[in-house]
Structure 1
Amino acid sequence: MSEEPISYDAAAIQVLEGMEAVRKRPGMYIGSTGERGLHHMVFEVTGRALNEVLAGRAGSVDITLTPDGGVCVADDGPGARVGGGGGDGGPDLEALLTRLESGAGPAGRHDVTAGFGMWLFVANALSRRLTVEVRREGIRRVQEYARGVAVTALTDAGPANGSGTSITFWPDADIFEEVRCSFEGLADRFRELAFLNRGLDISLADRRRPGEPRSVRLRFPGGARDFVVHLDEQAGAAVQGDVIGFQQEDPRMAGTLEVALRWRGSGEQRVRSFANSRPTLGGGTHESGFRDGLAAAVNAYARERGLLTEADPGLDAERIGEGLTAVVSVKLDDPRFEGSIRDKLGNGPVRACVGQAVQDHLGSWLAGNPEQAAAVVGRIVRGARRD
């Protein structure tokens, strides 16, 4: 072994930029080169189309897993702006596909960040091939890329049939350990997004096996209420009473909140929380506020009805949460995520806003539904006394 000292200075630093950086260190941009990263590719491309629907410029998004291993994402909007800038102050499609800074950036409350927010640039860099079709102003235009580099110019391909944008990409087997997406895995995330954003209409189709096509259409006008029903049905749980739900805007936290909950007869609590449609597995201020409001409303009801005396200790969040299914979703102008994988919401004002809203709405529901309220709170109190 050589005893010569190892020199590490500025000359040893390798600076990677653009496509080269993404292809050299893909995990930094999509999390992994396994199935999780592969699915993030799909989510990055889909994000632009979903926001077209939420902005009212498109009606639906169709995602198709093609027989040759590609993924096609199509919307029926006006067609992406091409050639010479976005016109509305934003980048055009070619900039989104070829410049990292054009796709990155924080999303506001009205945007869906299905993946990490890099959108088209990263997906283009990590695809062995990507094709674009834009149908706009009566003209159909097409372009093709290979590993992030344009191999054809944006070309007029005749008259357009309707309007919209279709992007099809084939993940690069030199990058990914597996280039076959899971239909179920994609459907789970798109279903989640459709629950959290009432305006979304998403179709996912699998055409990879001849004679065995699969498809699902995801649209849920009931929002978080429908989400709670779905979670209970998934678990095969016996339920007790109605789904309690509400949504409101609160300028103190510069955003909106939506909450839905229902108690089952028994079992562990299942609380799913989200910030700007992003799962917050680490919880955060919105989830803490939910638990604060839940405890305040249930304890106030129990004492008012004599189920708890002044001498009895208050019911804690763990006891109240037994058998509870809930969805807590906030959408903020400036979400602040914490934790090593940024899965925890840190916006301070959110806790008090969510807590007060839950206390008020749940308190009103308990007062207005005496039979269901007595059954739910009575069970909680009896469980606490058995302990």
Structure 2
Amino acid sequence: MRAMSDLFQQLAPKGTDYSAKDIEVLEGLEPVRRRPGMYIGGTDDRALHHLVAEVLDNAMDEAVAGHASWIELELAADGQVTVRDNGRGIPIDPHPRFPEKSALEVILTMLHSGGKFGGDAYKVSGGLHGVGVSVVNALSDSLVVEVARDRQLWRQSYSRGLALGPLEKVGPVQNRRGTTVTFHPDPQIFGERAHFRPGALYRLARSKAYLFRGVRIRWKTDPILLKEGDEVPAEEELHFPGGLADFLAAVLKERTLLTRSAFAGTAPLADDMGQVEWALAWPDDDEDGFTNTYCNTVPTPDGGTHEAGLRNALTRGLRAFGDLVGNKKAAQISSEDVMGGAAVLLSCFIREPQFQGQTKEKLASPEATRLVENAVK
């Protein structure tokens, strides 16, 4: 006991005061730069590419809401990424609570600002609900945003979360509307050697096009970034009218299935809460299956309540069919029996989704289980 007591005495700080001067108040986007892992999950390669996903999600929200029909994603040789859409464009008029700033500057420099908290601007959305684009701004050494609204083009430049000048009225434009964001990740945060991989961004763009069949995504990268043998095109327009069924067919390719065709479909969710789309098959081979789930076009690699709803619907459906044909063993079917070895794609669009963690890797909305289960069965 004496040794333990001495140990604690050695560890205890001596002669230190704790007063009001020790209390820090971080303002603006400083918390993001101090602790980026709290907002994008770290500063590694995965977190770096998450920046692109956040900007692309905002453009996808415009498309899902019916205001944009195409999106462009471009990777330049210097590592800059540009995301462009033909949506409504971020509002540029003065913000009611901060009249000295435009709504654009408020959105880009203040956490928890945006049009996704209420139900008016967006019924469903995938961005970080007022955090995403401001986080990208905070973690970029250069970000330029252009907005075309009401036949006028506006531009503002930022660095590390701070505006480099006022919102600039560039001049009149014809046949153009929407938002363009061009940014470069800050090497102070991600390291000098950090760089975007064309393959990762191309797959991201392709998955978004599969998840929302109403949008066309134009992909482009500088050919100098492509390595020999890469299966990544320098340019491609991505548009998949078949949605997840097309996605599943592309993934499975020539694999033989236990059924004549995949089980795929779409259905509205009850109470006008959104819709669900699914595509799954049981390959007749020794390769592993997979389950990829999404909510509002955002990947949820850890699954969640929407996946639980699909599992319940499939399990109960197969049990009911077994009972119908007189197979008594069907009552013992479990969800693991159903999903084990299956190739599963699930996408839902719901209002006000709740996720576990800021990077949204698992859907936690409790009502999603019931909504998806009832829609699928």
TM-score above 0.5, yes or no: yes
Deviation at 1:216, TM superposition (A): 3.1
Match of 1:293 in 2: 313
Q: Is the 8 A contact 1:293 1:355 kept in 2?
A: yes
Task: Name the CA shift for 1:279/1:116 in 2 (closer, same or farther; >3 Å).
Answer: farther
Match of 2:200 in 1: 185
Residue from 208, 216, 222 that aligns with 1:201: 216
Note the residue ranges of structure 2 that are not aligned, 5 or more in a row. Answer: 1-9, 97-101, 228-232
Q: Is 1:316 aligned to 2:334, yes or no?
A: yes
Match of 1:248 in 2: 267
Deviation at 1:8, TM superposition (A): 4.6
Residue from 183, 203, 208 that aligns with 1:169: 183
State the secondary structure of the residue aligned to 1:100.
coil
Match of 1:56 in 2: 66
Q: Is 1:82 aligned to 2:76, yes or no?
A: no
For 1:101 and 1:298, locate their aligned partners in 2 and report how far apart those are by CA, in whole Å: 44
Deviation at 1:115, TM superposition (A): 5.8
Residue from 222, 228, 245 that aligns with 2:248: 228
Residue from 29, 53, 61 that aligns with 1:43: 53
Q: Is the 8 A contact 2:128 2:358 kept in 1?
A: no
Q: Is 1:118 aligned to 2:131, yes or no?
A: yes
Match of 2:105 in 1: 94
Q: What is the number of equivalent residue pairs in this alignment?
A: 351
Tell me which amino acid in the other structure corresponds to 1:62.
Answer: E
Q: Is the 8 A contact 2:124 2:350 kept in 1?
A: no
Residue from 263, 287, 292 that aligns with 2:282: 263
Deviation at 1:114, TM superposition (A): 5.0
Note the residue ranges of structure 1 that are not aligned, 5 or more in a row. Answer: 360-387
Q: Is 1:282 aligned to 2:302, yes or no?
A: yes
State the secondary structure of the residue aligned to 1:102.
coil
Task: Name the CA shift for 1:260/1:113 in 2 (closer, same or farther; >3 Å).
Answer: same
State the secondary structure of the residue aligned to 1:162.
coil
Residue from 121, 128, 133 that aligns with 2:146: 133
User: What's the CA shift string for 1:365-386, capped at 9, x where partnerless?
Assistant: xxxxxxxxxxxxxxxxxxxxxx
Residues 307-386 of structure 1: matches in 2 within 5 Å? Answer: 308=327, 310=328, 314-338=332-356, 343-359=361-377
Deviation at 1:64, TM superposition (A): 0.9
For 1:189 and 1:228, locate their aligned partners in 2 and report how far apart those are by CA, in whole Å: 15
Q: Is the 8 A contact 1:265 1:323 kept in 2?
A: no
Match of 2:4 in 1: none
Task: Name the CA shift for 1:139/1:174 in 2 (closer, same or farther; >3 Å).
Answer: same
State the secondary structure of the residue aligned to 2:365.
coil
For 2:201 and 2:123, locate their aligned partners in 1 and report how far apart those are by CA, in whole Å: 22
Task: Normalising by structure 2, report the TM-score.
Answer: 0.80
Tell me which amino acid in the other structure corresponds to 2:180.
Answer: S
For 1:175 and 1:292, locate their aligned partners in 2 and report how far apart those are by CA, in whole Å: 43
Deviation at 1:60, TM superposition (A): 0.8
For 2:136 and 2:85, locate their aligned partners in 1 and report how far apart those are by CA, in whole Å: 17
For 2:277 and 2:72, locate their aligned partners in 1 and report how far apart those are by CA, in whole Å: 26
Q: Is the 8 A contact 2:244 2:279 kept in 1?
A: yes
Q: Is the 8 A contact 1:255 1:331 kept in 2?
A: yes
State the secondary structure of the residue aligned to 1:181.
coil
Tell me which amino acid in the other structure corresponds to 1:246.
Answer: G
User: What's the CA shift string for 1:277-334, capped at 9, x where partnerless?
Assistant: 333333333222222221222233234334x2x3776333333334422222222223
State the secondary structure of the residue aligned to 1:246.
strand
Q: Is the 8 A contact 1:252 1:349 kept in 2?
A: no
Match of 1:375 in 2: none
Task: Name the CA shift for 1:356/1:138 in 2 (closer, same or farther; >3 Å).
Answer: closer
Tell me which amino acid in the other structure corresponds to 2:345.
Answer: V
Task: Name the CA shift for 1:82/1:339 in 2 (closer, same or farther; >3 Å).
Answer: closer
For 2:118 and 2:336, locate their aligned partners in 1 and report how far apart those are by CA, in whole Å: 34
Tell me which amino acid in the other structure corresponds to 2:295.
Answer: A
Residue from 14, 27, 31 that aligns with 1:21: 31
User: What's the CA shift string for 1:134-172, capped at 9, x where partnerless?
Assistant: 333333332222222222332233432431322211211
State the secondary structure of the residue aligned to 1:331.
strand
For 2:190 and 2:221, locate their aligned partners in 1 and report how far apart those are by CA, in whole Å: 20
Task: Name the CA shift for 1:115/1:34 in 2 (closer, same or farther; >3 Å).
Answer: farther
Task: Normalising by structure 1, report the TM-score.
Answer: 0.79
Q: Is 1:159 aligned to 2:179, yes or no?
A: no
Tell me which amino acid in the other structure corresponds to 1:120.
Answer: V
For 1:82 and 1:33, locate their aligned partners in 2 and report how far apart those are by CA, in whole Å: 31
Quote the sequence identity (%).
Answer: 33
